[in-house]
Amino acid sequence: MLAFLILPVLVSGFIVCNYNPNFYYKIHRYQGQYLYFISACLGVASLLAFSVIAFIAHKFFPSTIYIFNWEITISIAILLESLILEVQDEKAKANLIAFAWIVVISLGTILIAYFWSVCSRARLHIKAGTLEKSKILLMSKVLSDNPMDKLFFESYLYSRPLLLSLNSRKVYVGTINSLGELNESSGMDQEISLIPIMSGYRNEDTLEVHFTTYYEVIATDLNIVIRQDQILSASWFDFDIYKKLNPRKISSISSIWTTLCNKKG
């Protein structure tokens, strides 16, 4: 009969994985048997939590309470008393009570999973204040262990320029204004949206960067969407360092950079 608890364990694990933001934004990293194991562990945690609550309630709380002269029965045995009394076989009575407990624990396990998820969302919302800040807080936790994702996230958060080199030898300098949405099957590494400052290419032989296009209209909604699997490397772009390393190329981009800095100021 205990085998029936497998179903609520799996269902509650699925609920936590899909509705608890602390787990939902990470499950894209789990695959195959490891994903099943994570889901089962979360389900077992929900089962144990409700089992402890049910045991404490059954052991230490009265089976009957009175509110405004109304008798409220909360004991499983008493709830099924009329049905159990009709059964003469003691073994059948014991099985009926055991089955009632399994049903209650199964439903309670699923409710605990929902309650856990709701509390996690509420706690995150209280901590962050707004939905957008909640998303940023979660993103910072999920992306902190991947250097390139962390780089993109900080550019998105602080509008700090990046230098991106693509497979095609195309080069972009710009700030990230949008990251892919985290979901259950993939993380934020599908594509990025970039506000370009300038672009160019790398020399085929020397890999030296040559800027050819300057986006004076960066104040408009000009975005370039780039798939992350097309990006070979990414690094911060610091104009002062670039100026020291490439003094001959400064005249063409100094005015663009000055305009950008003034707008930020």
Whole-number pLDDT of residue 67: 46
**pTM strictly above 0.85:** no
Query: What percent of the chain is modeled with pLDDT above 90?
Result: 10
Give the CA diameter of the chain: 99
Give per-residue pLDDT as tens, 80-92: 555 555 555 666 6
* HSE-up of residue 94 (Cα within 13 Å, Cβ side): 3
From 15-19, 109-113, 133-137, 189-193, the region with the lowest mean pLDDT: 133-137
pLDDT band at 60 (very low <50, low <70, confident <90, very high): confident
Question: Pick from 246, 250, 231: which is nearest to 192 by CA?
Answer: 231
Mean pLDDT, residues 40-45: 90
Separation CA 20–CA 69 (nearest Å): 41
* pLDDT over 60 at 133, yes or no: yes
Whole-number pLDDT of residue 171: 93
> Residue 197: what are its φ and ψ, rounded to 5°?
-100, -45
pLDDT band at 128 (very low <50, low <70, confident <90, very high): low
DSSP for 62-118, please give it. -SEEEETTEEEE--HHHHTHHHHHT---HHHHHHHHHHHHHHHHHHHHHHHHHHHHH
Whole-number pLDDT of residue 260: 56
* pLDDT over 90 at 164, yes or no: yes
Give the position of tokens 């670039």: 242
Highest mean pLDDT among 67-71, 146-150, 172-176, 180-184: 172-176
More confident residue, 214 or 253: 214
Give per-residue pLDDT as tens, 193-246: 898 888 899 988 888 888 888 886 555 678 888 888 889 999 999 887 877 777
Give me the chain's average pLDDT, please. 75
